[in-house]
Amino acid sequence: MIFERLCIIGVGLIGGSLSLALKQAGQVGEVVGYARTAETRQQALDLGIIDVAADTLAEAVRDADGIFIAVPMGAMESVLADIAPHISDKVVMTDGGSVKTPVVKAAYAELGDKVQRFVPGHPIAGTEKSGPNSAFATLYQQHQVILTLLTDTADDAVVTVRAMWEAVGAVVTEMDPTQHDAVLAATSHLPHVLAFNLVDVLAQHDDCQKVLRYAAGGFRDFSRIASSDPVMWRDICISNRDAMLALLTEYRAGLETISAAIASGDEDYLLSVFERAKAARDTRFTE
């Protein structure tokens, strides 16, 4: 068994699914859960995601040998600050936050010497749903988890966190936090912003209902991620500000050129962009 007493802080899709998966794999004894509201804590209890609901963070981490933090990015630093005085020297801590440089910075700022026990991580798995109700045990199977190790992270903590993810079927890789944030800005964070913006722009049209009624195929696929949790995505954009702004500038320049080509009827330019993109998509992306 990997953990005798695992504390999950944030018992929604990411935290809840990890708990269910570890329980199913028989790799955890007792799971203690904490969430911001009593309602969510009760929901997690009712769904069997956690065995015990703690009313405070201090109570949640007491005697835990493992801690998984899965709260929105905006709450990461305050959670680390609140648990720091109450954690043991032997605990293994990790998180599921989508942006890694701010988590690494917060860990150094708040954890003192215990930063050695912290292994920052990001499961590249999810859905557009949130809350305990959306959690399911197979979420991480065959999905990647990126660990962004600190220079001070203790080896045994890394071994334990790797084992935890592998026990739920994930494939673990390691990356530098800045590189992680740039890669994820491109593959996940920017696409979410584009989807939110497109749906928002279309929803303001007077004939929005009619437009959306005829939405099919591509629009349905592309817009699905616009039903993701707004708080989570607000936090991700602000947390990954630099990488997002660099990409948005590049993207805007591309759109301007496409817009000018459409205005001037520049068929060759449009064809060259679309052919280049199709070739890149067809040859370089593997599922």
Q: Does 120 sit near ligand NAP (CB under 6 A)? A: no
Minimum distance of ligand NAP from residue 184's CB (angstroms): 9
With respect to ligand NAP, which residue has the nearer C-beta, 173 or 249? 173
> Count residues contacting ligand NAP (CB under 6 A)?
28
From the list 2, 20, 31, 70, which residue makes contact with ligand NAP (rule: CB under 6 A)?
Answer: 70
With respect to ligand NAP, which residue has the nearer C-beta, 47 or 212? 47
> Which has the closest alpha carbon to 93: 106, 101, 249?
106
**Using CB under 6 A, which residues numbered 239 to 278 contact ligand NAP?**
none
Q: Does 236 sit near ligand NAP (CB under 6 A)? A: yes
From the list 123, 140, 148, 158, which residue makes contact with ligand NAP (rule: CB under 6 A)?
Answer: 123
Rounded Cα distance, 226 and 202, in Å: 12
> Which has the closest alpha carbon to 190: 137, 233, 146?
233
Choose the binding region for ligand NAP from 91-99, 146-154, 217-225, 261-269 (rule: CB under 6 A): 91-99
DSSP alpha helix (H) spans, 28-141: 38-46, 57-61, 76-83, 101-111
Q: Does 184 sit near ligand NAP (CB under 6 A)? A: no
Whether the CB-CB separation of 114 and 89 falls below 8 Å is answered with yes
Minimum distance of ligand NAP from residue 239's CB (angstroms): 8
Q: Give the 3-state secondary structure of residue 164.
A: helix
DSSP alpha helix (H) spans, the chain: 13-24, 38-46, 57-61, 76-83, 101-111, 155-167, 177-184, 190-203, 208-213, 217-223, 230-239, 241-264, 267-284
- Residues in contact with ligand NAP, shown as a per-residue x/- string from 131 to 170 under the rule CB under 6 A: x---------------------------------------
Whether the CB-CB separation of 254 and 199 falls below 8 Å is answered with no
Q: Does 61 sit near ligand NAP (CB under 6 A)? A: no
Q: Does 102 sit near ligand NAP (CB under 6 A)? A: no
> Which has the closest alpha carbon to 173: 191, 185, 161, 190?
161
Choose the binding region for ligand NAP from 35-43, 105-113, 157-165, 189-197 (rule: CB under 6 A): 35-43
Minimum distance of ligand NAP from residue 194's CB (angstroms): 16
With respect to ligand NAP, which residue has the nearer C-beta, 28 or 76? 76
Provide the pairing of β-strand 121-123 with 144-147: antiparallel
Burial of 43 per CB tally in 10 Å (0-12, 13-18, 19+): buried
Q: Does 98 sit near ligand NAP (CB under 6 A)? A: yes
Q: Does 232 sit near ligand NAP (CB under 6 A)? A: yes
Whether the CB-CB separation of 145 and 173 falls below 8 Å is answered with yes
Residues binding ligand NAP (CB under 6 A): 9-15, 35-37, 40, 70-73, 75, 79, 96-98, 122-123, 126, 130-131, 229, 232, 236
